[in-house]
C-alpha cells in the first residue's frame, strides 16, 4: 500500500495494522520462523540484491517511502507483537506527516485484527 501511495495512487485516508517498515527485518524474522540457517539467510539476501539491486533494502523501507505523503494515516500496533516489532510502526508514524500511532497491549499480531475497539476506531477514522 505505501509503495502504491508513494508512486501516486490517491486515497482520502489509510489505516494500517501491525505495519512492517523494514524488509530486512522481515527477512530475518522469516528465516528464524522457518529455522533457516544463517548461511541460507545470507543467500536469500544475496538473491534479493541480485534480483532487485543492492539498494533494495533502502528503496522499499516504508519510513522512507512515506516521508513525502500528506494523507491522514492511522496505525495500530501492539507493543507485545512478536511477529512485527512495534518500533516498525513507530518509525512509520514518525516519518509520515499526519500519521497517528495507536499502541495496544495484550493483542499481539493477530488478535488486533479482531479487536472491537480497534475496528471501531478504524471505522470512525475512515468515516470522519
Place of cell 522457518: 34
Domain ranges of the chain: 1-20+63-128, 23-60
C-alpha span between 39 and 79 (Å, rounded): 31
- pTM here? 0.87
**Class in CATH terms, 1-20+63-128:** alpha beta
pLDDT for position 3: 77
H or E segment and range at residue 88: helix 86-95
60 CB-side CA count, 13 A: 15
Give per-residue pLDDT as tens, 55-110: 999 888 999 999 988 899 999 999 999 999 999 999 999 999 989 999 999 999 99
Amino acid at each position: 500500500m505505501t509503495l502504491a501511495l508513494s508512486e501516486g495512487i490517491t486515497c482520502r485516508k489509510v489505516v494500517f495494522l501491525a505495519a512492517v517498515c523494514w524488509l530486512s527485518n522481515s527477512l530475518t524474522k522469516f528465516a528464524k520462523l522457518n529455522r533457516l540457517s544463517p548461511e541460507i539467510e545470507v543467500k536469500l539476501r544475496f538473491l534479493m540484491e541480485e534480483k532487485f539491486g543492492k539498494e533494495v533494502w533502502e528503496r522499499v523501507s516504508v519510513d522512507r517511502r512515506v516521508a513525502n505523503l500528506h494523507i491522514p494515516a492511522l496505525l495500530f500496533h501492539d507493543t507485545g507483537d512478536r511477529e512485527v516489532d512495534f518500533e516498525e510502526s513507530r518509525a512509520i508514524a514518525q516519518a509520515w506527516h499526519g500519521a497517528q500511532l495507536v499502541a495496544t497491549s495484550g493483542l499481539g499480531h493477530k488478535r488486533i485484527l479482531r479487536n472491537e475497539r480497534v475496528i471501531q476506531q478504524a471505522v470512525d477514522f475512515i468515516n470522519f
